[in-house]
A and B are shown apart, each in its own frame.
Chain A
Amino acid sequence: MRNVFAVARKDLVVEWRARLLLVRVLPFALLVLVLFAVALDSEALLERAAAGLVWLAAMFAALLVVQRCYDIETADGALDMLLTSVVEPSRVFFGKLLAVVGQLLVLVVVLVGGAVVLYGVRVDAAGLVLLVTTVVTAVIGLASVGTLYGAVVAQLTGRDSLLPLLAMPVLAPLLIGASRATEAAFGSRTIDLATGWAWTALLAVFAVVFTAAGAASFATLTEPDA
């Protein structure tokens, strides 16, 4: 457990010193929200689509975060060093996952705030509980898929364009579930709260499945080639 926190802390410290999340990823995510508004050009449509747009923007921006979390390991064979330092590979995975979860939570909170300001969505007290649950479970799922597929393409040439192609289809259930649950939390007339809660169950299953898969396959993905 200590190793997990050490790896997470290391990633977050590197991130904090570079402040890439703050100066690049968050502005990019908000820009996507603005561009959606420009493209759809209808306030009624925006309010109706807000939940889906928030999660789509979160997915795009999350890929940047994940990309970054492996790029910092590429230089000077840092990942190999990390793996030789008696740390069990799955703990490195959990550490990286934790750091990505932390960053994505910030990202999604900012995006939901953006939706409130830009798209005019409103959240009441009952909706807020659902919203927080949805954000936490969906972010864990998003981060686990990202950390796992980031490891699949780590150190390969052309990984920047590979990651979206590989991760996006896998994230489809998450996009569907998180969008519907958030839609319910935003007080949409199409989905009631109970159905929204049902979707969080799917999100939880998704998060558990891909966290387990990541922990199981991380050793294979990172071991040096014979």
Chain B
Amino acid sequence: MSDTTPTPHGAALLGAGTARRSLGTATPATRIIGLLTLATMTWVVVSAFFITSPDVVQGDSVRIMYAHVPAAWVAYLAFVTTAIASGISVVRRHRTLGFDRVAGASAEVGVLFMGLALVTGSLWGRLTWGTFWQWDPRLTTTLFLFITYVGYLAVRRIDASPERRAKRSAVLALLAVLEIPLVHFSVVLWRSLHQEASVLNPDGDVRLDGLMLFTLFSGVVAFTLGFVWLVIHRQRLQALVDLQGTVGLDSAIAARATEAVLR
């Protein structure tokens, strides 16, 4: 993931000829995306904490929203990306593993951001509703989605050939697309059957002024840029790891063979 130092494994794998070229995962495009992410993120942090005014009802806790909403947005974006990349990978019969790596990278980042969204959401819930968790359909569906993708990542980490990994995980990602509407629908039915008087007050609506909306929007842009940056780097890193797994063994054997001859 480093921008300047070459990856030692990558250099060794591809032989001495390419050793001098940087084999990091950065390109000019990702550097630009990285800088843009940093710039927008800095603006969001400054604006969210110091420039925007606290909410009339919620006070300072409204500031959590500037991280929570973009994190949830990126999480859903990531899972849609995973599903689409997995679909393409299946249609192409996993001939190349590029789409599989994008699917995996995107799911990893998605789980991270969904974790962030759940944590920030429950902190906000504690401050506003007085409780960390509420079994409301959207929260429950999100929690199941989170667990589903944690399982997806567990399958990807299994020690199997990249092709097998690609096949199994692509099927899983596509099944998740079937699962989520069913989970959501059943949870909506479930909750509508025993509606209890709860601390959850749906009138907790925030009145957003122009600057607050702009900060929220900047947050979405900043997080999306960060997502793109992370996914590009992560999938390139995975490509190098896969390369190490296949080419690495051959070159190690070759190196040992030369040693034997020299001795």
Contacts and interface: CB of A to CB of B under 8 A. Distances in A.
A152 B187 contact: no
A226 interface: yes
A176 interface: yes
B163 A152 contact: no
Interface stretch (B61-69, B101-109, B164-172): B164-172
B160 A176 contact: no
Chain B binding surface SS class? helix
A151 B255 CA distance: 40
Given A157-B158, A202-B189, A165 B151 contact: yes
B194 A190 contact: yes
Contacts of B168: 152-153, 156, 221
Interface residues of A, number: 33
A169 B147 contact: yes
B167 A162 contact: no
A226 B163 contact: yes
- State which size class the interface on B falls in: 20 to 34
Contact of A170 (B148, B154, B189): B148
Given A213-B175, A226-B163, A206 B182 contact: yes
B38 interface: no
B171 A217 contact: yes
B190 interface: yes
B194 A172 contact: no
A190 B190 CA distance: 13
B183 A166 contact: no
Nearest to A212: B178
A148 interface: yes
Given A177-B186, A225-B163, A166 B172 contact: yes
A210 B155 CA distance: 20
A176 B187 contact: yes
Nearest to B144: A169
B60 interface: no
A226 B193 CA distance: 50
A209 B182 contact: yes
A169 B142 CA distance: 11
Nearest to A179: B190
A162 B169 CA distance: 13
Interface of A: 148, 152-153, 156-158, 162, 165-166, 168-170, 172-173, 176-177, 180, 190-191, 195, 199, 202, 205-206, 209-210, 213, 217, 220-221, 223, 225-226
6 contacts: A157-B159, A162-B154, A165-B150, A209-B178, A217-B171, A220-B90
Interface of B: 90, 144, 147-148, 150-152, 154-155, 158-161, 163-164, 167-168, 170-172, 174-175, 178-179, 182-183, 185-187, 189-190, 193-194
